[in-house]
Amino acid sequence: MRGRPPPRASRNRERAGVTADARWSETGFAKINLALHVRRRRDDGYHDIETLFAFCDDGDVLQAAPADAVTLSLTGPFAAGLDGGGDNLVLRAAQALKDASGYVGGAALTLDKRLPVASGIGGGSADAAATLRLLNRMWRLDWPAARLAELALPLGADIPACVHSHALRGEGIGEKLRRDPGMDALAGVPVLLVNPLIGVSTADVFRGWDRRDRGPLATGDALFVAASGRNDLMPPARAQVPEIAQVLETLGACAGTALVRMSGSGATCFALFEDKIWRDRAEAHICAAQDGWWTLATKLRAESGV
């Protein structure tokens, strides 16, 4: 059992209005790229992209308790695939917020890792963003989302989108974000995520891109933009993990789908469904046929505050 904290840390928590027995929780919402167009490779090694981000209602779960220092414990079905040391994005995000805010004190963080690692659904980025949102509340900093997103960018290109965790159009390296008209239509859409449980190297997938610009992302209604788009990283990802083709074929054969595509650099693929009944039937069929695949039946998130 934790003993009494040193006086300075205790006073800091009193000023912040956080009691020693408080418990805090935040979800690292799974990210999907409804479309992902790679436009060019930049001189700095990054790539200019155009993407339509969407986020699911479910993901990893981060909990925290007040503490004298920032620490991290890992639990959950995919915890073994993570390093809980100082290079972990959760710890880096926490330290960045502590340094930038001047907060005196820490947090004992516990990450319940429910999403597969290296799977194209922003697990590490989503966890870092959840850390910023959680500590922003727990430490009573009251920073707006835009300020958290600015702090997050040096940690990873898609972490700013994960800070917001609702449908957004991303450009540049993914950090130039805007919410276009019609994105509200995505909220509540049933979605099924499927992963063959084979990790994919994002760096290798980008290196395998053929550097051919196939044109910009469309504009207009979000569902139209998604359906008329593509994922330019799918060919190199499939070359690295041929099982992705099987996942896409399996999802494409399910009744009631509105869109089937790979997310990010893979290997997670997704299907948007007309209703949750078709989604749940598809998940049951896939689980019965492929007991080595991971699935998540969920829905897309609406816009919400930090």
Residue of 222, 186, 190 lying closest to 302 (CA atoms) = 186
Q: What is the pLDDT of residues 68-78, one digit of tens each?
A: 999 999 999 99
pTM score: 0.91
| Alpha carbon separation from 74 to 70, 86, 301 (Å, rounded) | 14, 13, 26
- Give domain status of residue 177, yes or no: yes
- Distance CA(269)–CA(241), nearest Å, equals 12
Residue of 88, 34, 43 lying closest to 224 (CA atoms) = 34
pLDDT of residue 83: 85
Q: What is the pLDDT of residues 157-178, one digit of tens each?
A: 999 999 999 999 999 999 999 9
Q: Which amino acid is at 215?
A: G
- Give domain status of residue 304, yes or no: no
- Distance CA(185)–CA(183), nearest Å, equals 5
Q: Which of 31, 98, 113, 299 is catalytic?
A: 31
Name the band, by pLDDT with cuts 50, 70 and 90, for residue 253.
Answer: very high
pLDDT of residue 26: 97
Residue 117 counted as an annotated binding residue? yes
Residue 182 counted as an annotated binding residue? no
Q: Which of 58, 68, 158, 232 is catalytic?
A: 158
Residue 284 counted as an annotated binding residue? no
- Give domain status of residue 1, yes or no: no
Q: Write the CATH number for 291.
A: 3.30.230.10
pLDDT of residue 84: 82
Residue 124 counted as an annotated binding residue? yes
- Give domain status of residue 233, yes or no: yes
Q: How many domains, in total, are found in the chain? A: 1
Q: Which domain holds residue 107?
A: 7-299
- Give domain status of residue 202, yes or no: yes
158 noted as active-site residue: yes
Estimate to the nearest angstrom the gap between the alpha carbon of 124 and the chain centroid: 7
